[in-house]
Structure 1
Amino acid sequence: MDERTTDPVLFPWRYGAGVLVFFTLCALIRSVDHDESQYVAAAVLTAHGYLPFRDFAYLQTPLQPFLFAPVAWLAGPWVWPALRLVNATLGAVLVSCVWRAAREAGASARAALIAAGLLALSDILLFSIATARNDALPAALLAAALVPIVRAQQGRGSAGQAVLIGLLLAAAAAAKVSYALPAAAYGVYALIDRRHRPLAVLAGAMPMVAFVAWTWAMAPAAFVFGTLRFPALAPAEYYTPGSWKMSYLAKAVDALKFFALGPALLALVLVRRRLMRPGVVEWLVLAGLVAALLPFPTWRQYLLPVLPPLFVVLALVWDRAPPGRGLRIFTVVTIFAGLAPSVAAAVQALDGSSMLVALREGRAIRTALDSAGVQGPVATLSPQFLGVTGRLPDRRFAAGPFYYRTHQLADPAIEPRFHVVSADRPADLDRAPPAAVLIGGEAPWTAGDSDTDALLEHWAIARGYRTVAIDSTRFRLYVRRP
């Protein structure tokens, strides 16, 4: 009897529970990050009936705000930590799907468990599932698709499973545009190997294609700007010409560094021969590498599309050629390397940038807003701090600091249609000034740039906004005079 048929369908519960507890702790103790701003704001605004692109700027493909809006509505003032916990749960789902895909591919239970455990200890994954960004959702969808993909490769698939593959891969691309490349790569593979039922895969993708087309149709220019133009143009504008970060050498160094923070680089080395003769899972590894290395500059979360298929292949290699003692010792070294950044982030959080501190600051902001009688939206480059206050962010700042710090990415006449404003062109702010301006969340303690926050503060002071006392050494609140 095939050993797979005696296995439970899901990841063994004791290991799954352990991974979930570990990821939850990582999410709760990791220091806050300004990257979380637009994702928290998008979920909150969507929960209140506003739609991405049509009503506020969103700099990604649109699925996540719609899926996470119910969480934001239910969590209320706890929306920021709640979204972190959702991502931690998605991380546990991702690991369990990689384990199951490895078992379906023929790896032993032990090898599949080792591969899943090594994946769970990679810094690329640990960062992505511990913050309220948009990395965990598409990666979990890709990992879930690997299970029926492996079944189809072995001739055990069905039309229904092919439809599911199309739906999952299209949903991943609808949550983050970089996952469109692995999805397209699988579509090409399915055309070559008809065991994968390309027409059924296409049928499964159509609901997500229709959903994305609907969001595009509501605001075509804003959609194209948020999903394609901004990601392509903003880094080159933000970094000075000739900057090291924008060089190919920096890309190579950063990619090696991020892969080496954990077992991912070791996994790439161990599976290199299989990548020369790719099957469908290896094909997805290669597509993930291309998707990861296309953007400039390279950040750790960009490498996440590589990991789910990579560790499925690793399980097969580990099973058929178990490593010797020296390699096992080196694997332990990579585990410590993967944990080191998370430990450093936790230490930083203890020094005053933890989620508990962020919530305490939020309560101080709420008290100040209450005392000033501010009920309307608040302009701030750190809208993630507004969740606990019960106030919505000014929709022109839904993208956090990332559009405000740009200079010439959109025509000034178009900015109001995109619901954005930049520091260089505050005309729309002058036309419709916000009731209040909150300063202090875009700063080094959130991995942000206080100079960008200062530009908004200077605008408020120049327009005669009055200072409102706030019980915080980090935040400053300015309220418009009657």
Structure 2
Amino acid sequence: MSLTGRRAPAIAALALALAILALARPIDHDESQYVASAVLGWGNLPYRDFAYLQTPLQALLFAPIAALLGHLAWPGLRLVNAGLGLITLLCVWRAAREAEATKRNAVIATALFATTDILLFSIGVARNDALPGALMAAALIPILRAARGQPTPAGAFLAGLLLASAAAAKISLAFPAAAYGFYTLWHRRHLPLWVAAGALGPTLLVAALWIAAPAEFLFGVLVFPSAAPSEYYAAGDRAWKLWTLLKPVDTVKFLALGPGLAALLFVARHRPRTDATLLCTLLSVSALIAALLPTPIWRQYLLPMLPPLFVGLAIVMPERLSAGWKAGFTVFAAAGMVPSLSAVLSGKPAMVAAWQESTAIGEALSRADIKGPVATLSPQFLPGAGGAIDPRFATGPFYFRATSLLTAAQEPNHKLVSARTMARHFAQAPPAAILVGGEGEWTSGNPRLDARLEGWAVEQRWRRVPLASNRFRLYVPD
């Protein structure tokens, strides 16, 4: 794709807008585990050396980036995800052109995709959605080139590599990867052996980490994601989030915040029949099925279904849309941008505030001469503070709030600590310091969890270190 003429300024403007959004979006406690995994991943292996609650590719790929960025790891990782969002959009445009959509339709479909709240949230925080989404979008290019009748061994290898890498970054992507794999067996012009050869590398990587720490791998990749949400919500005042009937309601709601729902209805109405549109439908539906399996579902789970959906929209869209469809797409596109604009304008703390908090934490750590690992449910603040993350808190608040997923005897092998076993584990191996305050309503977190951690420090009569922050408190052994 040429970046000459009018495209380069437009792409540069889009890149700048996504970068600004990434830095201006409010802090989210979901980022804790992904920043921590990138920081701890340099020189360590996920599962074996620290707990990780996803398939491992992102932790490995982002580790050298975090090491290079140092104190700027957290904002840098947000910008990396914004860049991956830009790549996703460019790949959707290129894939649509490979499927012989017109230039106009490819641009319109890509622009509509860019306004979806699902995409804007997923690429605006330091989570693990942007990388697999970009890999999924990139895989569409060689896949649709083959569907057009131009398969090559290199293209088939690349398709397998990208789809398997997406699954190695987030397990839900295994569904569209498997769907395409089975499709190639029935349509051998897609060169299934070359596709399988491309998938071999990421598959072996995941298998190697499984072999290195089998119990810890299975817990992080399969057991925790399937059991932890039900355990957490069933025990609190939000058990209604586990209602199965909410899944279709939430799905429609998330897709309606942007043109995703309109695109789905438009493509379904036009009943695609070509190889390219059937492939887009297959990949989108398989990604939707994967998104619907967890309980509850969240907007970012739906991201993998959108690249093939909007490529399919570009293919079937006529040169002239009816006035009704134009109005519908326009209204939904506007709706898709409202949550991001509302979040940015809400006044909630974003990356500038996060940097100020990290600076204050770093000064306190320095005054207290803390060199060892810090126990905190908000490890994303420690890189900017120059503090070391206690590996037992690599998952932020997400395992700490568990009550029955592992026994106290199993937790040390998994490099984990829960609120109910904290006293026992800290008695054997106390952290160098305890930092609380980041798991609160201002980060969409649960302040009761921080209270449990702080309560232990107070009970042990640890000394509270002066900290120039209205949110954080730092405790050290007296």
Query: Under a length normalisation based on structure 2, what TM-score does the superposition of the two structures give?
Result: 0.96
Deviations 1:144-187 (A, max 9, x none): 00000001111101011100111000000000011010100000
Deviations 1:341-371 (A, max 9, x none): 10111023xx241110010000000111111
Amino acid at match of 2:419: A
* Distance of 1:105 and 1:234 partners within structure 2: 41
- 1:61 maps to which residue? 55
- 1:93 maps to which residue? 87
* Distance of 2:266 and 2:216 partners within structure 1: 44
Displacement of 1:419 in angstroms is 0.2
Are 2:421 and 1:425 aligned? yes
* Distance of 2:121 and 2:470 partners within structure 1: 28
- 1:157 maps to which residue? 151
Deviations 1:15-40 (A, max 9, x none): 32222111111101100100000000
Amino acid at match of 1:393: I
* Distance of 1:423 and 1:414 partners within structure 2: 15
**Aligned with residue 13 of structure 1, among 8, 12, 29:** 8
Matching of residues 245-394 of structure 1 within 5 Å? 245-273=241-269, 279-318=278-317, 320=318, 322-348=320-346, 351-394=347-390
* Distance of 2:204 and 2:348 partners within structure 1: 45
- 1:3 maps to which residue? none
Amino acid at match of 1:336: A
**Aligned with residue 76 of structure 2, among 56, 75, 82:** 82
On the 8 A contact 1:19/1:120 being kept in 2, the answer is no
Displacement of 1:415 in angstroms is 0.4
**Aligned with residue 206 of structure 1, among 200, 204, 213:** 200
Q: How many pairs align?
A: 471
**Aligned with residue 478 of structure 1, among 466, 472, 475:** 475
Deviations 1:260-319 (A, max 9, x none): 00110110010014567561121101111101111110100000011000000011122x
* Distance of 1:92 and 1:373 partners within structure 2: 42
Decide whether aligned partners of structure 1 residues 197 and 405 sit closer, same or farther in structure 2, where only a CA change above 3 A counts: same
Amino acid at match of 1:132: A
* Distance of 1:430 and 1:119 partners within structure 2: 52
- 1:195 maps to which residue? 189
- 1:168 maps to which residue? 162
Deviations 1:114-146 (A, max 9, x none): 000111110000000000000000000010000
Amino acid at match of 1:292: A
- 1:219 maps to which residue? 213
Are 2:36 and 1:41 aligned? yes
Displacement of 1:52 in angstroms is 0.6
376-385 vs 324-333, greater mean Cα deviation:
324-333
234-243 vs 23-32, greater mean Cα deviation:
234-243
Displacement of 1:9 in angstroms is 8.8
* Distance of 1:263 and 1:207 partners within structure 2: 36
**Aligned with residue 469 of structure 1, among 466, 470, 475:** 466
* Distance of 1:420 and 1:127 partners within structure 2: 29
Displacement of 1:66 in angstroms is 1.0
Stretches of structure 1 lacking an aligned partner (at least 5 in a row):
1-6
Decide whether aligned partners of structure 1 residues 392 and 274 sit closer, same or farther in structure 2, where only a CA change above 3 A counts: farther
SS where residue 416 of structure 1 aligns? Answer: coil
* Distance of 1:330 and 1:275 partners within structure 2: 19
* Distance of 2:8 and 2:143 partners within structure 1: 23
Deviations 1:379-401 (A, max 9, x none): 00000000111112100000000
Are 2:403 and 1:414 aligned? no
Displacement of 1:14 in angstroms is 3.1
* Distance of 1:26 and 1:405 partners within structure 2: 30
Displacement of 1:200 in angstroms is 0.5
* Distance of 2:460 and 2:430 partners within structure 1: 9
* Distance of 1:337 and 1:177 partners within structure 2: 30
81-90 vs 152-161, greater mean Cα deviation:
152-161
On the 8 A contact 2:117/2:336 being kept in 1, the answer is yes
* Distance of 1:221 and 1:429 partners within structure 2: 23
**Identity of counterpart residues, as a percentage?**
53
Displacement of 1:196 in angstroms is 0.8
Displacement of 1:257 in angstroms is 0.7
SS where residue 410 of structure 1 aligns? Answer: coil
Deviations 1:69-124 (A, max 9, x none): 11111111010000000000000000000001001111110100000011111000
Deviations 1:390-416 (A, max 9, x none): 112100000000000010001221100
Decide whether aligned partners of structure 1 residues 275 and 297 sit closer, same or farther in structure 2, where only a CA change above 3 A counts: farther
- 2:401 maps to which residue? 405
On the 8 A contact 1:281/1:313 being kept in 2, the answer is yes
Displacement of 1:13 in angstroms is 2.7
On the 8 A contact 1:275/1:282 being kept in 2, the answer is no
